[in-house]
């Protein structure tokens, strides 16, 4: 399944996040990497080093854009300046799809710069889906939404997180960036069965997957992206791949970033699961 209308009928393999600490290694050693995910906001600038580096990367690699501040779930109107800058970048990178999170983070024009959890209500689903459509219509590329990890739930919620995700993507007719680490983190923080979440995802809408590490505290788990992927998350990834099929997969490592090779090797562990799913399909 992998190639579908939500990832622009591409069949990308395993990628890693493009991070400044690895620029030198990538540009001088030119390692073989299937694709890089960039944080859009880091390159939504007018000029200078960020764009120069990006252009050099684009000469040799495929890049997919991942955003952190579109806040589809904010009740605020979309910032047109943000959209314009994002579209300029989309034209530069020729990203096959654009992803951002199913969350909110700003209100009345003030930004928290965090991925805050949604209340799982029908009103919120409607508002969010409308914004996803607006962004997609403006950017003219598929837009996919990513499930976030969360540490709080609201009294007003009318459904589970996975029901909410389904409600939004159906209404918006958009794709999903399924983050299995986030599912695992939230399942621990909110005591639900992560497998049930994975099983309820409309497989045909998954455009991409995220895997990552996290930090465990006594009473909760924080999504810190500063560790290797743990076994239960690989298990969940395996389960998702069995259901969805070979899907573009990206390892997120954003803090205490080790060497390029270490990050890439960790990401490539996903091959084991992708291969077994390919085998299952062949049989």
Partner 1 sequence: MKLLALQRRMAQAVMTPLTPSERMRNVSPRGRSMRAEAASFIKPNDRLTSFERLEIYNRQYWFRIFSALAEDFPGLRAVLGDRSFDALSKAYLCDCPSTSFTLRNLGGKLEGWLRKHPRYGGTRQKLAIDMVRLEWADIEAFDGASVPALKTEDLAGANPATLRLRLQPYVQLLDLRYPVDDLLLAVKGKNKDDEDFASNAFNEKHRRKRVAAVARLKPADIFLVVHRVDTWVYFRRVEREEFTILSALRAGKTLGRSIDAAFRGSSIPVEERAQNVAQWFHNWAALGWFCLSEK
The answer to the question of residue 167 lying near partner 1 (CB under 8 A) is no
Interface stretch with partner 1, choices 15-23, 185-193, 229-237, 240-248 (CB under 8 A): 185-193
210 binds, among Fe ion, partner 1, none (CB under 5 to 8 A by kind): Fe ion
The answer to the question of residue 20 lying near partner 1 (CB under 8 A) is no
The answer to the question of residue 257 lying near partner 1 (CB under 8 A) is no
211: left (phi over 0), alpha (psi -120 to 50) or beta: beta
The answer to the question of residue 74 lying near partner 1 (CB under 8 A) is yes
147 binds, among Fe ion, partner 1, none (CB under 5 to 8 A by kind): none
Q: How far is CA 61 from CA 94, 145, 255, in A?
A: 11, 24, 23
In whole angstroms, what is the distance from residue 84 CA to residue 128 CA? 19
> DSSP assignment of 19-34, as one string?
-GGGHHHHHHH----S
Cβ atoms of residues 168 and 125 within 8 Å:
yes
The answer to the question of residue 50 lying near partner 1 (CB under 8 A) is yes
Interface stretch with partner 1, choices 8-16, 186-194, 228-236, 238-246 (CB under 8 A): 186-194
Cβ atoms of residues 213 and 224 within 8 Å:
yes
Structure-block tokens of residue 121: 């209500």
Is residue 36 helix, strand or coil? Answer: strand
Q: Tell me how many degrees the CA angle 15-90-175 measures, rounded to the nearest 5.
A: 60
Interface stretch with Fe ion, choices 9-17, 67-75, 209-217, 259-267 (CB under 5 A): 209-217
The answer to the question of residue 210 lying near Fe ion (CB under 5 A) is yes
Interface residue list for Fe ion (CB under 5 A): 179, 210
Interface residue list for partner 1 (CB under 8 A): 41, 44-53, 69-70, 74-75, 79, 82, 104, 106-114, 116, 119, 121, 123-124, 127, 151-156, 189-191, 219-220, 222
């Amino acid at each position: 399944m992998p190639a579908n209308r939500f990832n622009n009928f591409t069949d990308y393999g395993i990628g890693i996040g493009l991070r400044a600490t690895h620029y030198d290694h990538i540009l001088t050693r030119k390692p073989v990497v299937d694709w890089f995910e960039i944080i859009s906001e880091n390159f939504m600038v007018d000029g200078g080093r960020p764009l120069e580096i990006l252009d050099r990367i684009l000469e040799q690699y495929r890049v997919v854009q991942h955003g952190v501040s579109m806040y589809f779930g904010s009740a605020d109107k979309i910032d047109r300046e943000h959209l314009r800058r994002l579209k300029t970048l989309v034209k530069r990178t020729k990203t096959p799809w654009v992803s951002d999170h199913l969350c909110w983070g700003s209100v009345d024009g003030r930004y928290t710069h965090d991925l805050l959890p949604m209340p799982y209500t029908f009103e919120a689903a409607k508002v969010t889906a409308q914004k996803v459509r607006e962004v997609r219509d403006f950017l003219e590329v598929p837009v996919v939404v990513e499930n976030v990890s969360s540490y709080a739930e609201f009294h007003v919620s009318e459904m589970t997180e996975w029901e909410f995700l389904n409600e939004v993507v159906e209404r918006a007719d958009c794709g999903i960036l399924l983050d299995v680490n986030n599912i695992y983190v939230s399942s621990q923080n909110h005591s639900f069965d992560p497998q049930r979440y994975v099983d309820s995802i409309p497989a045909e809408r998954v455009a991409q997957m995220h895997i990552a590490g996290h930090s465990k505290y006594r009473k909760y788990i924080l999504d810190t992206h500063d560790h290797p992927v743990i076994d239960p998350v690989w298990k969940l990834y395996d389960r998702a791949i069995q259901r969805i099929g070979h899907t573009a997969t990206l390892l997120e490592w954003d803090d205490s970033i080790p060497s390029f090779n270490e990050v890439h090797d960790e990401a490539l562990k996903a091959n084991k699961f992708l291969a077994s799913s390919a085998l299952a399909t062949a049989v």
